[in-house]
Amino acid sequence: MTPTPTGPPRPTPTGPVPARSTGKPASPPDGGKDHGRIADDGTIYVQLPDGTERSVGQWAAGDPAAGLAHFRRRYQDLLVELDLTTTRLRNGQATPDQAVAVVERMKAALTEPAFVGDIAALTAQVDALAELVGVRRVELTEAKEQARSEALARRAAIADEAEKLANSEQWKVTGQRFRELLDEWKALPRFDKSEEQKQWDRFKAARSTFDRARKQFFAKLDEQRADAVVVKDQLIQRAQALSNSTDWGPTSRAYRDLMAEWKAAPRAARDQEERLWQAFRAAQDVFFDARSKVFSAKDDEERENLKAKQDILDQIDKLFPVKDPQATRRSLSALMEKWDSIGFVPRDAKAGLERKLRAAERKLRDSEQAEWKRTDPAARALAESTTKTFRSSVEKIEADLAKATEAGDQSAIAKAQASLESTQALLDAAEAALAEYSDD
């Protein structure tokens, strides 16, 4: 079977012993590199930094080299644990307290060594780890203080923002922002309870102000929505009462007024608002659908009337130019009676039709006046008398001009010529007026 160490060192020797030569050592020399040996009786010794030896255990049986190797592995295990702890402490995977526990355990191992190895080197590494623990404690303290300062500053900033949002009326957006701020507050590290409480009180007060205002707003909104249902139900009833009316004009205006009242009324909840609107709209649709059918039939009738009146205008155009005003008047009167018997035409065409009809009436009236003037005996006699008078005046002036010419009286000649020119113009006008009474 494989020999194993027996456990703790035997009572003898009990402490460090001077290095001694046995003449024939049980373990091979290591050229000064080996820090321990095994005696003939199986006792394992480690060399201390001052050159003395200390027993660290007993190898009961088996190969002495294997026993010495076993105690050397114990030393290597200590080094591995020491290196691993140092690395973990540096990269933050181990806390200073965990490293201190390792340091204490290492110091205990150095006080009562049960290994073979370089004690001085191991002691130096343990001291280095202990020193690193102190450095890390300072670093962690500084980091903690910085984290504390940053966390407190952030809490103060959260409280500041909350106070700015306290009076906001953007209920949805601001409510979501308060929830985000609260989540961030909870995620921040805790350090100084009293200072944090001050900022929390600010944040809580601001959030309470906002929540209270929001509750009041929506409570009032609920009241308004309830009122809206009552008001709009009444409008629906009024709209339904009008839905079967055939008094198209006044009822259309009444519906327009109802729509204005609807728009001015408060809004109900979304689902109720939609239900109310559909009922209100349905009542209007009954009336306006009926009106549309009537107006559509009326439009068809008005288009037929328009065509009929356009045909009459075409017949009136054929009455001109007027040859016999009396006959034309009779024809126009008959067409006018027919015109008046035709009903309404489309509103946009009415003005144009009336304008054309009035123009035809004016043309006929002008023709009648011209005919009356042409056939009036008194007017003809006056025209003839006026013409005769101006003709006599012209003959007399011509005679005077001849005498002045014969006498060579230049002054009389000039006066006669001027008088003749103006009187001749009057005669020409009188003859033209007289020509209008000609039967030709």
Residues 6+ apart with CB under 8 A from 62: 2, 3, 4
Whether residue 166 sits in one domain with residue 241: no
On whether both 136 and 174 belong to a single domain, the answer is: no
Q: Which range marks the domain in which residue 120 is found?
A: 36-142
Percent of the chain with pLDDT over 70: 90
User: What's the average model confidence in pLDDT over 300-318?
Assistant: 87
In angstroms, the CA 273 to CA 235 distance is 13
Tell me how far apart the alpha carbons of residues 115 and 104 are, in angstroms, rounded to a whole number.
17
Q: How confident is the model at residue 16 (pLDDT cuts 50, 70, 90)?
A: very low
| Entry pTM | 0.42
- Would you say residue 313 lies in a domain? yes
Q: Is residue 279 part of a domain?
A: yes
Shared domain for 371 and 350, answered yes or no, is yes
Residues 40, 125, single domain; the answer is: yes
The mean-pLDDT minimum among 318-327, 375-384, 427-436 falls in 375-384
Instruction: Enumerate the β-bridge partners of residue 53.
Output: 17, 47
pLDDT at 13 over 80: no
- Rounded CA-CA distance 129/96 in Å is 10
Q: What is the pLDDT of residue 306?
A: 87
> Any long-range contacts for 187-196 (C-beta under 8 Å, 24+ apart)?
188/151, 188/154, 188/155, 189/147, 189/148, 189/151, 190/151, 191/144, 191/147, 191/148, 191/151, 191/152, 192/148, 192/152, 195/152, 196/152, 196/155
Domain count, the chain: 5
Residue 26 lies in a domain: no
Q: What is the pLDDT of residues 220-264, one digit of tens each?
A: 888 888 888 989 898 899 998 988 988 988 999 998 998 998 988
Same domain, yes or no: 59 and 111: yes
363-420 pLDDT, tens per residue? Answer: 888 877 777 766 667 767 777 788 888 788 888 888 988 988 988 888 888 888 888 8
Same domain, residue pair 383 and 369:
no
Last residue of a domain, one of 142, 160, 175: 142
| Residue 256 confidence (pLDDT) | 92
Given 76, 110, 142, which residue is the final one in a domain?
142
Segment 255-308, tens digit of pLDDT: 899 899 898 888 888 888 898 899 989 988 998 999 888 888 878 888 888 889
The least confident of 311-315, 334-338, 365-369 is 365-369
3-state secondary structure of 117: coil
What pLDDT band is residue 25 in, cutting at 50, 70 and 90?
very low
Indicate whether 110 belongs to any domain. yes
Alpha-carbon gap, residue 105 to 127, rounded angstroms: 12
Asked whether residue 285 falls in the same domain as residue 354, the answer is no
Together in a domain, 384 and 423: yes
Question: Residue 375: its pLDDT value, please?
Answer: 65
Same structural domain for residues 45 and 96?
yes
> For residue 21, is pLDDT > 70?
no
Domain membership of residue 284 (yes or no) is yes
Averaged pLDDT of the chain: 84
